[in-house]
A = this chain, B = another copy of it.
């Protein structure tokens, strides 16, 4: 009897997690990973640190090499092989290697882990030299070569999401003057106004110019080698343009194969990471996930979720019964020494999920004042009728972002604000104030809801 074949399309976070977990579950399985690029299993979230130079060598981002997977885990990693078509009827994937004719690769179980596409490619002129997106390690390597060779002085970043922020920080660390252009009314999307204002303040203080309420329409070459970025009625000249307008799921191949997508455009999956086509799983930035606060299927592509989904897809595609219930919308980042993080829903998301949300913003300290405590800003969101906590957001210096974890657990447990006020969080003057931000915010929320 031939060994059962597990085929995985994509070899970054979700794909390699799936492969590794499947191998652990079933030592007999024939596991093949198709990766169109030349790298697998790297920390994509570390790309900004490679661009800044804080990570000297791209190989440092690689967790395990293809050789490691082949030799130690008996996983057949095929680099430079791009899947072009999924044929669920024949249970095969058509793939090309170095512009060859497509070859058919058969499978018994398939995991789609094709990831996401960095937005901006649709902007006219996005293919000009000096215009980059940060989609994968190869793209980051090209950008760093450009930075090292051309030594640009001025960059425009299109997009003010968390990736835009991280790239701004990375470029500023290299001494590059940065202009950011975003369509939202404040720097950083997905956070409440007080947090956004704090971020914008920090960016301005670090010399970043921020243009809100504007979208990049077109990019055109100048006469002196510069690039013109046209937005609204005006334009900015730069030697480098970064497109970071968001991430879209790479789901077209799945859709073409008749695998249903969700409203978000990402592949629809259940809590076993199964698509609606039997034997086909999806995981990572190409797939949806469930937001456990709103109960809705959402597209919220992040490395940590990709790893979890990948493991579950790997376990189940190898005969297991794992579940991934979903996320609560936790996200954190830092730029210019300011850490920000969120979990749960924003006011806008909460309203569209049918809640009647309210919010309270408080200011406290990172640790005892007498040990140099620094300002910590936090916003708590809750549902008025039920008192259920809906979200939490923080901004502050080192140590601020991980404050979000306690709130994330409270969201998983569907806690009410009245249950949060006296939670026994860790206090010692060297790393916390007596009253943690989450407790202060819950106290403020209770006060506010009594006044309502």
Cα separation A333 to B403 with both chains bound (whole Å): 17
Chain A, residues 400-441, CB within 8 Å of chain B (1/0): the string is 011111101111110100010011111111111011100000
Q: How far apart are A316's CB and chain B's nearest CB, in angstroms?
A: 14
Q: Are B332 and A428 closer than 8 Å at their CB atoms?
A: yes
Whether a CB of chain B sits under 8 angstroms from the CB of A327 is yes
Q: Are B428 and A401 closer than 8 Å at their CB atoms?
A: yes
Q: Are A430 and B370 closer than 8 Å at their CB atoms?
A: no
Q: How far apart are A75's CB and chain B's nearest CB, in angstroms?
A: 19
Cα separation A341 to B436 with both chains bound (whole Å): 16
Contact of A332 among B303, B402, B427 (CB under 8 A): B427
User: What residue of chain B has the Cβ atom nearest to residue A404's Cβ?
Assistant: B426
Cα separation A343 to B61 with both chains bound (whole Å): 34
Whether a CB of chain B sits under 8 angstroms from the CB of A317 is no
Interface centre among A307, A398, A408, A412 (most CB of B within 10 A): A412
Whether a CB of chain B sits under 8 angstroms from the CB of A37 is no
Give the size category of A's interface with B: 35 or more
Cα separation A310 to B405 with both chains bound (whole Å): 27
Pick the interface stretch among A42-50, A205-213, A253-261: A42-50
Whether a CB of chain B sits under 8 angstroms from the CB of A268 is no
Whether a CB of chain B sits under 8 angstroms from the CB of A96 is no
Q: Which residues of B contact A368 (CB under 8 A)?
A: 43, 45-46
Given contacts A413-B409, A413-B415, A424-B412, A435 and B307 within 8 Å (CB-CB): yes
Q: Are A424 and B43 closer than 8 Å at their CB atoms?
A: no
Q: Which residues of B contact A369 (CB under 8 A)?
A: 60
Whether a CB of chain B sits under 8 angstroms from the CB of A334 is yes
Copies of this protein in the assembly total 2
Cα separation A43 to B365 with both chains bound (whole Å): 15
Q: Are B412 and A423 closer than 8 Å at their CB atoms?
A: yes
Q: How far apart are A414's CB and chain B's nearest CB, in angstroms?
A: 9
Cα separation A398 to B54 with both chains bound (whole Å): 20
Whether a CB of chain B sits under 8 angstroms from the CB of A302 is yes
Q: Which residues of B contact A343 (CB under 8 A)?
A: 424, 426
Contact of A429 among B49, B325, B370 (CB under 8 A): B49
Within 8 A of B (CB), among A219-234: none
User: What residue of chain B has the Cβ atom nearest to residue A54's Cβ?
Assistant: B371
Can you name 15 A-B residue pairings with CB atoms under 8 Å? A46-B368, A46-B429, A49-B371, A49-B430, A60-B370, A324-B422, A325-B422, A330-B424, A331-B426, A398-B431, A402-B402, A405-B436, A408-B424, A409-B409, A409-B425
Question: Interface of A with B (CB < 8 Å)?
Answer: 13, 43, 45-46, 49, 54-55, 60-61, 292, 302-305, 307-308, 324-334, 339, 341, 343, 368-371, 398-399, 401-406, 408-413, 415, 419, 422-432, 434-436
Q: Which 7 A-B pairs have the closest CB atoms?
A: A413-B413, A304-B427, A409-B409, A405-B406, A332-B426, A60-B370, A327-B424
